[in-house]
């Protein structure tokens, strides 16, 4: 089998690596990928995720059995619909099913209609109306750009002033372009956050181990929101009954709702949840795997990944199994300055060859293919599995201390919430 993974980050590295380890898979292409992936035997294809026609031609010319779409922007742009129209098999939701992620307003309407627990909200496109609402509600309050904003379109405002500033930037200053032409203003929810992922085909779904991301840039959840600086799975201090409740009140009804709306879902569904005093509530839905959560979830998959996805694509019952031992934890190493301005071209340490996996995100080889340089905000991630969170932290942080991370930074407290 020959497979194609679309995307370029650590998430796609983890997906592609796991697929290549599957039985009967000869070659896994990644478009466009990043150079560090070559070290794991993956084949890069120099086509951008926005060039759907070129990707389709590539898949046809190279007899790709099926493709796996990583990033949200490709899904929002309808890449799955186009692959389907071209007669190609592809794992990911259609543009209409993916609207759950690309429009927060649509997601909220779905949750209201199908009685799925989430924060109360109102959507505005008029600044004065938004201002009046915020002044009436008071703080803390949450302001979100309606569209995709690379995880940066959310402001948890501690004061009315901060909330007004955020709305001003989105509605009047056009900070997020069209994504910020409407804002969702919602109730602040207090509780512990976790992520719940499922492989989905219509009304059938297969839950993955719970995961916890660390979205802020610096230790102690300080600094700006990022794509995610580290994660671990499973979140053992969340009881099975919390997961069962989330499945029953959130995952099942949203998938049934999508079917009722004529938008059946195929792909990975990602529920970003918060455990409030009234039980789990939805912060957001994403229509794809999380990054960096994928990198700590997929190493725990004990079944044949390519077989599982192939079965889902054919409407068969997949036999998906997970390791139930220990915990898998990963720490992202990012360029100094990320998620704002950062330099590229920092020399990266050699790949580890012990029981730590290196997933690459923003990397580039210099011509001779012996020297790997940083080429993005999040650069690489070290992942390991150990009996306890402490043991996993020790392995990873010892390794990081021995690496030359000049020009780069990482959080030193990934997993501390589980201690
Ligand atoms: P999102 O991009 O929607 O996941 O939001 C980014 C982060 O903002 C989340 O991970 C939460 O930490 C925070 N957040 C979003 N919505 C709320 C809310 N209603 N109450 C409290 N925190 C929130
Ligand atoms: N880890 C957060 C995300 O993938 O959106």
Let me know: does 312 contact 351? Beta carbons within 8 Å: no
Let me know: does 381 contact 201? Beta carbons within 8 Å: no
Please tell me the predicted confidence (pLDDT) of residue 390: 98
Instruction: Return the number of other C-beta atoms located less than 10 Å from residue 35's C-beta.
Output: 17
Ligand 1 centroid vs 156 CA: distance in angstroms?
7
Residue with CA nearest ligand 1 atom 6:
154
Which of ligand 1's atoms lies nearest the C-alpha of 283? 16
Please tell me the predicted confidence (pLDDT) of residue 368: 74
Range with the poorest average pLDDT among 38-47, 173-182, 202-211, 213-222: 173-182
Give the long-range contacts of residues 137-142, CB within 8 A, separation 24 or more: 137/185, 137/187, 139/163, 139/188, 140/188, 141/185, 141/186, 141/187, 141/188, 142/185, 142/186, 142/187, 142/188
Residue from 283, 284, 288, 292 to probe ligand 1 pocket by mutation (most atoms less than 8 Å from CB) = 283
Quick: pLDDT tens for 190-238: 999 999 999 999 999 999 999 999 999 999 999 988 999 999 999 999 9
Is residue 300 over pLDDT 90? yes
Quick: pLDDT tens for 383-415: 999 999 999 999 999 999 999 999 999 999 999
Task: Specify the 3-state DSSP secondary structure of 193.
Answer: strand
Residue from 290, 295, 378 to probe ligand 2 pocket by mutation (most atoms less than 8 Å from CB) = 290
Quick: pLDDT tens for 135-153: 999 999 999 988 766 556 8
Region 287-297: mean pLDDT is 98
Quick: pLDDT tens for 101-116: 999 889 999 999 999 9
Please tell me the predicted confidence (pLDDT) of residue 151: 57
Please tell me the predicted confidence (pLDDT) of residue 152: 63
Average pLDDT, the chain: 95
pTM of the predicted model as reported, rounded to 2 decimal places: 0.94
Residue from 137, 142, 227, 281 to probe ligand 1 pocket by mutation (most atoms less than 8 Å from CB) = 142
Ligand 1 centroid vs 170 CA: distance in angstroms?
17
Residue with CA nearest ligand 1 atom 4:
284
Residue with CA nearest ligand 1 atom 3:
284
291: Cβ below 6 Å to ligand 2?
Answer: yes
């Amino acid at each position: 089998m020959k497979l194609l993974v679309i995307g370029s980050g650590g998430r796609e590295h983890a997906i592609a690596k796991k697929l290549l380890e599957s039985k009967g898979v000869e070659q896994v292409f990644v478009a466009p990928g990043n150079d560090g992936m070559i070290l794991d035997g993956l084949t890069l294809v120099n086509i951008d995720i926005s060039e759907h026609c070129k990707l389709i031609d590539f898949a046809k010319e190279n007899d790709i059995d099926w493709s796996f779409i990583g990033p949200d922007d490709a899904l929002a742009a309808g890449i799955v619909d186009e692959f389907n129209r071209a007669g190609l098999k592809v794992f990911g939701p259609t543009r209409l099913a993916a609207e759950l992620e690309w429009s927060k307003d649509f997601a909220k309407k779905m949750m209201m209609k199908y009685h799925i627990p989430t924060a109360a909200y109102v959507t505005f496109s008029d600044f004065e109306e938004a201002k009046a609402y915020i002044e009436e509600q008071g703080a803390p309050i949450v302001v979100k750009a309606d569209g995709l904003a690379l995880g940066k379109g959310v402001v948890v405002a501690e004061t009315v002033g901060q909330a007004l500033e955020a709305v001003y930037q989105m509605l009047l200053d056009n900070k997020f372009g069209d994504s910020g032409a409407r804002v969702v203003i919602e109730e602040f929810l207090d509780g512990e956050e976790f992520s719940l992922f499922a492989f989905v085909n219509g009304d059938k779904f297969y839950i993955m181990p719970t995961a916890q991301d660390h979205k802020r840039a610096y230790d102690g959840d300080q600094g700006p929101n990022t794509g995610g600086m580290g994660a671990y799975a499973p979140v053992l201090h969340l009881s099975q009954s919390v997961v069962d409740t989330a499945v029953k009140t959130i995952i099942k009804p949203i998938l049934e709702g999508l079917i009722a709306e004529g938008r059946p879902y195929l792909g990975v569904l990602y529920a970003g949840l918060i455990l409030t005093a009234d039980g789990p509530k939805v912060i957001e839905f994403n229509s794809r795997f999380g990054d960096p959560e994928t990198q700590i979830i997929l190493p725990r998959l004990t079944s044949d990944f390519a077989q599982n996805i192939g079965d889902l694509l054919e409407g068969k019952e997949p036999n998906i199994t997970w390791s139930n031992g220990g915990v898998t934890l990963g720490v992202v190493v990012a360029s100094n300055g990320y998620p704002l301005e950062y330099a590229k071209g920092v020399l990266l340490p050699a790949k580890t060859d012990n029981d730590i996996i290196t997933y690459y995100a923003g990397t580039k080889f210099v011509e001779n293919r012996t020297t790997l340089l940083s080429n993005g905000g999040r650069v690489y991630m070290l992942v390991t599995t150990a009996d306890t969170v402490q043991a996993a932290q020790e392995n990873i942080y010892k390794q990081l201390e021995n690496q030359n991370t000049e020009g780069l930074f990482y959080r030193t407290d990934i997993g501390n919430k589980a201690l």
